[in-house]
Amino acid sequence: MKKLLTVMIVLAMTLSLVGCGKSSNTSSKTLSIGVFEPASGDNGAGGKQETLGMQYANSVTPTVAINGETYNVVLKIVDNQSATDKAPTAAQQLVSDNVSVVLGSYGSGVSMAAAPIFEQAKIPAIGASCTNPAVTQNRPYYFRVCFIDPFQGSVMASFVKDQFNAKKAYVLNMLGEDYGSGLATYFANAFKKQGGEVKSEAFPEGTSDFSAYIQNAISYGADVIFAPSATTYASLIISQAASAGCKIPITAGDTWESSVILDAQKGTNLKVYVSTFFDENDKSGVAATFVSGFKAWLNADSQHKTDNGGNDIVAAVSALGYDAYMTAIEAIKIANSTTGEDIKNAMPKVSFDGVTGHISFPNGGDAAKSDAFIKQADNGVFKFVKRQSGAS
Amino acid sequence: MKRNRIPQFFIIVGAFLLLLAVVLMLDNVPGVPVMLLIVLRKGAIYALVAVSMNILNGFTGLFSLGQAGFMLLGAYTYAILTVPVENQALVYQRYPNGGIGFSVTESLGRVLGQPGLLLGVIICLILGGIVAGVFAYLIGLPVLRLKSDYLAIATLGFAEIIRAVVQYEKLGPITNGSNLLSNFTNFSNFHLGSLKLDTVMPFVFAGVCIWVITLIINSTYGRAFKAIRDDEVAAEAMGINLANHKRMSFIISSFFAGISGAMLAMYQASVQATIFKAAMTYEILLIVVLGGIGSISGSIIAAFLFVGSSEWWLRFLDNTTVLPNFNAKLLFAIIFAAIVVSIVFLVVYRQNKAQKSRPEAVGRGRKILSLKLSGVITLVVGTLLLLGDLRFLISPDLQVPLLRSGFRMVVFSIIVMIVVLFFSRGLMGDRELPDLFRTRHKRL
């Protein structure tokens, strides 16, 4: 009995603390935007970088005018723990916080798991880097500012054909990872359609020795390796390919635009190419302004810098996070309202120049993107190679 | 005895119906916090899976760590069977012509309406349980010869293998490979007139399953399980077939784990193999241990407390909070100090009393406080927390220190550690809820 009592007391206290935490919002007019991102789990690192982009955007545009009144925009951040069983609760938390729009998430699975909850609550969600095509299909309340995996796969297929005149491709991804295996399939399909030949292999989770896979690629006589995978495996693949004397160019998708890849490639002669969402040397100047502003913002706060992985290299997902926030603000301005339904209806009218290119939603939930940007990792920096459009 | 049992049965059924009525009300009255409903739903499902694990670990004394694997089998069986035909192209978009081409719930629902939907769901839940049970039988043949840690490792390995098989590319047209299965029949498809049944359904399913489990535990089979747990040699000498009963316990446990896995899929409205990792088994094991190994009501209580604190009550710790003014800061500091002081006082007081009443301490007298190591640690940690609180009060900062994304899990782990330290046999030990209301009554 006494034990039960103790538990009850502790519970009551915790609850009272919750009450305390919530009663602190007293400023005049506020509008909440939910940030639905992983801060822990497999995608914790990427999720944090994406959140940073949103936080920076919030510091650049902290207010929005609705009906002539100025609203302060407050970000409500929840951690979806990169797991589809934790995501619904995190999403529900945002719903009960009465957010007007939701941004995120990094990782398509959690976005798909949360979509029904946002839909039921009539809150539009704007994904930043969830590239799986299923995220927005049949989901009228889900939007996204990035391109999708089939597009990325076909872009990389036409890039390797144009650049290396590749006839044979070796495709490597992790078993059981939906992002990697999806992108690998789309690449393989597009490459075969151009008349190429593909050999696909998958490595199990936790693999640390890739020499056998690299030898397979060499003995297959591949002209190019396509290895969309998490960055932890990427650095192993690159360094072991270099030590095996492999001369085949290695290509991958957007996750590889990371300082980990630069460190791994540094000091080797390997050609490593990635497709990504933005180019800071863009003529419009939006991207250049973003990059310099974001770097200064990161360096001003040690916590932000730690969340970015301890350096001030701008990740593409941060840029997408920034664009997702700006898209939300544009939609709110057009809707002239704080209710989710109005904002959702305003989304098709959104049209502006973001960091990752022009953003508009002419056909449903996906932003119209015509090009991806190809960059090459070269001794510690990503060099811009070309804009590449998909196979026609 | 016989006279006693019948009213008790009615009391339990009555209490359960009352509980359902309350939950139904919570579901439909506007203004109820959504998070409460979420915690109730997930808590009911976790209660079932924890109880199912308790059959094996608590009542039969077999240490198995395969629960996540069996849940995965149940979840996938359910999801594959209930994806509506029109959605199959969407769900299986990586695999042209994927899907099984029919949906049990959809076909039954079209013919019979809501009752048909319910019937379909029940059939698929049971099928999910049966698939898990069949696999348990097969894996049990070699694995149940092992004991304690070796059994744990073998079942853990099995769970990982199942996950890898489900994700296998060549099975993609059925399991959707490593991609998400979604759009299938879930709890929100049920209505009673205009009443929502989102939270009632998991309670009904979990309640019925747990009731069946209680019946099994209190039957001759259940007593045989307990005999095996207490002493295998003695049990065998009494004529209990060890291999048979162990296998039966393993299959029953897996069957209900399969059902709860299917319910978890319904609750999430989507299912992906990657979540059924060893970490999920550990969560369930944690619930079983916290609730008390060998206590059904303990597992249920611990499941709700676990889900509540991991998903709801502690979430504010993840947000950086800036207090609006000095008064709020003062209030916060005082409440925090009061909590720390009262917890430390409670621990120290109880331990002091217990230590002093021990026979070897009586002669020594004099000492004001006599504490075990854990009491001293509590005292020191409490003092440090108070000093930190004071420092925060003096400092000009209005932002509450330490609160940032990720801090929730730290606090959660600390709470779990404290509970295990102070309740070394779990919240309930091996007692059940009714035992608490009886006057000191010795169990055999």
- Give residue limits of the domains in chain A: 29-147+288-361, 149-276+373-389
Cα A235 from Cα A226, distance rounded (Å): 14
Give the pairing of strands A125-127 and A63-66: unpaired
pLDDT of the residue at A3: 57
Q: Is the pLDDT of residue A197 over 60?
A: yes
Partner-chain contact B167 A175, CB within 8 Å? yes
- Reported as type and span, the H/E element at residue A382 is strand A381-389
Nearest Cα residue in chain B from A42: B274
User: Which of A85, A123, A302 is best to mutate for the B interface (most B CBs within 10 A)?
Assistant: A85
Q: Select from A108, A178, A207 the residue whose CB has the most chain B CBs within 10 Å, as the one to mutate to test that interface.
A: A178
Residues of A in contact with B427 (CB under 8 A): 3-4, 7
Q: Which of residues 18-57 of B touch A (CB under 8 A)?
A: 33-35, 38, 42
Closest CA to A203 of A220, A222, A184, A224: A184
Cβ-nearest to A16 among B182, B188, B335: B335
| pLDDT (average), residues A205-218 | 90
Q: Is the pLDDT of residue A36 over 90?
A: yes
What is the nearest CA distance from A20 to chain B, expressed in angstroms?
7
Instruction: Tell me what ipTM this predicted complex has.
Output: 0.77
Nearest to B316 among A18, A138, A185 (CB): A18
Do A29-147+288-361 and A149-276+373-389 share a fold?
yes
Return the structure tokens found at B193.
């007139």
Dihedral angle at the C-alpha atoms of B65, B70, B71, B72, nearest 10 degrees? Answer: 110
Q: What is the mean pLDDT of chain A?
A: 86
Q: Residue ranges of chain B with pLDDT lower than 50? A: 1, 443-444
Interface of B with A in 275-304 (CB under 8 A): 275, 280
Whether residue A384 is predicted with pLDDT greater than 90 in this model: the reply is no
Do residues A359 and A324 lie in contact, with contact meaning Cβ atoms separated by under 8 Å?
Answer: no
3-state secondary structure of A199: strand
CA distance A386 to A159: 9
Minimal Cβ distance to A3: which of B35, B271, B423: B423
Cβ within 8 Å of residue B261, ≥6 positions away: B49, B70, B71, B72, B73, B74, B75, B78, B128, B132, B276
Q: What is the pLDDT of residue A14?
A: 54
Mean pLDDT value across residues A279-291: 79
What number is the average pLDDT over the span A240-245?
A: 90
Residues of B in contact with A109 (CB under 8 A): 180, 270, 272, 274
Whether the predicted pLDDT of A308 surpasses 90: no
Output the pLDDT for position B3. Answer: 53
By C-alpha distance, which of A130, A157, A163 is closest to A145?
A130
Chain B residues near residue A7 by CB distance under 8 angstroms: 305, 427
What is A149-276+373-389's CATH topology? Rossmann fold (3.40.50)
For residue B163, give the chain A residue with the closest CA.
A176
Residue-wise burial string across B181-203, b where 16 or more C-beta atoms lie within 10 A, e elsewhere: bbbbbbbbbbeeeeebbbbbbbb
Q: Which of A4, A14, A23, A97 to probe the B interface (max B CBs under 10 A)?
A: A14
A177 pLDDT tier (thresholds 50, 70, 90): confident
Query: Is A13 a residue whose pLDDT tops 60?
Result: no
Contact A89 B35 (CB under 8 A): yes
Question: Which pLDDT band holds residue A169 (cuts at 50, 70, 90)?
Answer: very high
Closest CA to B174 of B77, B262, B257: B77
Q: Do B335 and A17 touch (CB under 8 A)?
A: yes
Residues of A in contact with B322 (CB under 8 A): 24
- Which CATH number is A29-147+288-361 given? 3.40.50.2300
Contacts 24+ apart (CB under 8 A), B25-28: B26/B199, B27/B195, B27/B196, B27/B197, B27/B198, B27/B199, B27/B200, B28/B195, B28/B196
Distance from C-alpha of B264 to C-alpha of B270, rounded to nearest angstrom: 9
Subunit contact B178:A92, Cβ cutoff 8 A: no
How do residues A316-363 score in pLDDT, each as one tens digit?
889 999 999 999 999 999 999 999 999 999 999 999 888 888 899 988
Give yes or no for residue A309 having a pLDDT over 50: yes
Q: List chain B residues with CB under 8 Å of A6.
A: 346
Residue with tokens 């970000």: A75
Q: What is the pLDDT of residue A227?
A: 93
Q: Give the per-residue pLDDT at A2.
A: 56
Beta bridge partners of B181: B271
Give the model's confidence band at A20: pLDDT under 50 very low, under 70 low, under 90 confident, else very high: very low
For testing contact with chain B, the best of A89, A94, A97, A199 (most B CBs within 10 A): A89
Q: In the predicted model, what is the mean pLDDT of residues A106-112?
A: 89
